[in-house]
């Protein structure tokens, strides 16, 4: 099957030290020879420094590091050329334009700019990766923290493929068992037929339970992608903004001694020891009679945000008495079984902090309290470690990341087929039960790309890819 040679800038556009241009397809070597003005072929997988010239004019474009990958042992399964040019915008554009001008249909030389995700698309079409591995590549690129990177490796290295293809093998084996009943039913006595049907039913029960457990782990792991929601809660001027700035290691919000500075929820994404965390700073909690209408709305939103988050970070100043409004809000969070960590701030303003007294007043165990000073940094490292330990409890020990497409197929095709099998098994209808299992097998085929109608789902998979990947 003929496919044109494609090219694209694979690094981020704009001024940079290096720009990597990828060329893929049967005319990769032709492009190399034209740009380097040489007939000598490059050694596969060996880097070399070459001067690049504008074809036809011999105008020097750049001196670049070049590397050629020979098919089929490449990322895509086809000849692949990489040009590591200097990252100036003008240099990159001149090299791209020179490649474009080598397109010559009358000579049978088809060269065009790549579409979104087309390099990975070619890798899939050439059998180098299945769709779960391709999606793992995208998740790896999008990973913002260390835990996301590790989770994305499961798909990238083929662990997800191994898991789902194992399920498909089990389904196909059970389809084979039922097929023998349908095709050779007359040769089996009634008791033997019933025994085979019951055996398949048991197998499907076990498989269904495993898939549901797997999806449960996936949904727990979704927090790695979206970020663990941490809500800052506390009275006015407790130091919530100072704590936020310290955790962010930068000034994300204006710190002021004016009461009621924060009027709305401010979400700030952070990386805390490899975990993506979305910290929501909220309006200071105090009696509504002391707040104006805007601040009162902010307090209402603060309470709502705290209830919706994964962890509440209650910031309490140690040099002031605890207000009844804060005690009431802590009680609401306890009733909702919300995870609460209390930060006793401003420890630099007092000689001794009685954790037991605060524990008694708020009705929380002493291990939930951490004495710190946002001003001096005392206790902050210990707080960050304690939060990291809490994050480990919020997420699964072995996170599993799946795209929304894959989750939908597991729920709406694979599990649906297994549930339909159970329904028709109860009706003692072997034919429809068999067809239900085939729906499940085809659903897994759509996940890996090994199914009829796969072209319908390719667009969804590759649409979000960047050009040059």
Sheet with 311-317: strands ordered across: 266-272, 275-281, 228-233, 311-317, 339-345, 369-371
Nearest to 111 by CA among 99, 122, 119, 123: 99
- pTM (2 d.p.): 0.65
Instruction: Give 466's Cβ-side CA count (13 Å radius).
Output: 14
DSSP 89: H
Instruction: Report the distance separating Cα 224 and Cα 276, nearest Å.
Output: 6
> In the prediction, which pLDDT does 139 show?
79
Q: Are 26 and 71 in contact (CB under 8 A)?
A: no
pLDDT tens-place string over residues 224-256 = 677 888 888 888 788 888 888 888 775 554 344
SS3 call for 448: helix
> In the prediction, which pLDDT does 255 show?
41
pLDDT tens-place string over residues 366-401 = 999 999 998 899 999 999 999 988 887 776 556 677
DSSP string across 148-168: HHHHHHHHHTTHHHHHHHHHH
Show the domains of the chain with their CATH numbers.
Answer: 5-114 (3.30.1360.120), 135-222+403-453 (1.20.120.430), 233-286+294-394 (3.40.50.300)
Tally of CB atoms within 10 A around 58: 8
Q: What is the pLDDT along the chain (469 residues), one digit of tens a residue?
A: 678 999 999 998 888 899 999 999 999 999 999 999 998 889 999 999 999 999 988 899 999 999 999 999 898 999 999 999 999 999 999 999 999 999 999 999 999 999 988 998 899 888 888 888 888 888 788 777 777 787 777 777 778 888 888 998 888 888 888 877 776 555 556 677 778 888 889 999 999 999 999 898 888 777 767 788 888 888 878 888 888 888 877 555 434 444 444 444 567 888 888 888 888 776 545 444 544 455 455 556 656 666 767 888 889 999 888 888 888 888 888 888 888 999 999 999 988 889 999 999 999 999 999 999 988 999 999 999 999 888 877 765 566 778 888 899 999 999 999 999 999 988 888 889 989 998 998 999 888 887 534 454 445 445 555 656 6
Q: Kindly report the backbone phi and psi dihedral angles of residue 127, in degrees, each rounded to the nearest multiple of 5, phi listed first.
A: 75, 15
> In the prediction, which pLDDT does 451 show?
58
């Amino acid at each position: 099957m003929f496919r044109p040679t494609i090219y694209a800038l694979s690094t981020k556009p704009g001024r940079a030290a290096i720009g990597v241009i990828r060329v893929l397809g049967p005319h990769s070597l032709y492009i190399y020879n034209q740009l380097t003005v040489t007939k000598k072929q490059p050694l596969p997988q060996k880097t070399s420094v070459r001067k690049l010239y504008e074809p036809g004019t011999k105008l020097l474009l750049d001196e670049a590091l070049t590397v050629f990958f020979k098919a089929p042992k490449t990322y895509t399964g086809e000849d692949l050329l990489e040009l590591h040019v200097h990252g100036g915008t003008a240099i990159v554009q001149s090299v791209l334009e020179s490649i474009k001008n080598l397109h010559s249909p009358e000579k049978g030389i088809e060269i065009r700019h790549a579409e979104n995700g087309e390099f990975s698309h070619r890798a899939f079409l050439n059998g180098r990766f299945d769709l779960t591995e391709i999606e793992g590549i995208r998740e790896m690129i999008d990973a913002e923290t260390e835990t996301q990177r590790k989770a994305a490796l499961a798909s990238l290295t083929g662990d997800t493929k191994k898991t789902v293809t194992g399920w498909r093998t089990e389904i196909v084996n059970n389809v084979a068992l039922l097929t023998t009943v349908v095709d050779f039913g007359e040769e089996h006595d009634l008791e033997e037929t019933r025994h085979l049907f019951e055996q398949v039913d048991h197998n499907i029960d076990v498989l269904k339970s495993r898939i549901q457990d797997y999806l449960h782990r996936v949904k727990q792991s979704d927090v790695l992608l979206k970020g663990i929601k941490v809500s800052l809660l506390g009275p006015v001027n407790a130091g919530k903004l100072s704590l936020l700035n310290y955790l962010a290691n930068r000034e994300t919000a204006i710190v002021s001694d004016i009461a009621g500075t924060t009027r709305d929820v401010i979400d700030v994404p952070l990386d805390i020891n490899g975990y993506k965390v979305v910290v929501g700073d909220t309006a200071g909690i105090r009696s509504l009679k002391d707040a104006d209408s805007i601040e009162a709305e902010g307090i209402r939103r603060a309470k709502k945000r705290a209830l919706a988050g994964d962890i509440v970070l209650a910031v309490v100043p140690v040099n002031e008495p605890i207000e009844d409004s804060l005690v009431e809000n802590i009680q609401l969070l306890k009733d909702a079984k919300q995870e609460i960590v209390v930060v006793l701030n401003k420890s630099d303003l007092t000689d001794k902090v009685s954790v037991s007294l605060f524990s008694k007043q708020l009705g929380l165990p002493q291990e939930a309290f951490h004495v710190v000073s946002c001003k001096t940094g005392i206790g902050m490292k210990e707080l960050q470690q304690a939060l990291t330990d809490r994050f480990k409890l919020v997420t699964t020990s072995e996170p599993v990341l799946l795209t929304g497409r894959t989750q939908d197929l597991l729920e709406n095709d694979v599990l649906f087929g297994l549930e339909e099998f159970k329904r028709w098994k109860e009706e003692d209808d072997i034919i429809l039960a068999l067809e239900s299992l085939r729906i499940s097998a085809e659903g897994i085929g759509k996940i890996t790309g090994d199914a009829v109608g796969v072209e319908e789902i390719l667009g969804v998979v590759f649409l979000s890819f960047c050009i040059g990947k």
